[in-house]
Amino acid sequence: MLLAARSNCTCLSRSQENSLELQELKQVNWNFQSGISRLSYGPQYLQREDFTVVVQPFFQNTLVPLNSRGGADLTFFSEDCFHFSERGHAEMAIALWNNMLEPVGQKTTSNNFTHSRTKLRCPSPESPYLHTLRNSQLLQDRSEADPSVLSWAMPVAAGGGLVLGVGTMMVWRAVRGRQQETPPMSLNTMSF
Same domain for 101 and 52: yes
Which among 31, 92, 25, 27 is positioned nearest to 58, based on CA atoms? 92
Model confidence, pTM: 0.60
Q: Which residues pair with 72 in a beta bridge?
A: 66
Same domain for 114 and 175: no
What is the tally of structural domains in the chain? 2
Same domain for 129 and 170: no
Digitized pLDDT (tens) for each residue of the chain, 192 residues in all:
344 444 556 665 555 566 787 788 788 888 998 898 888 888 888 878 888 889 999 888 888 888 888 888 888 888 888 789 999 999 999 999 999 999 998 999 988 787 677 888 999 998 898 998 888 877 654 544 444 444 555 565 666 666 666 666 776 677 776 666 655 555 555 544
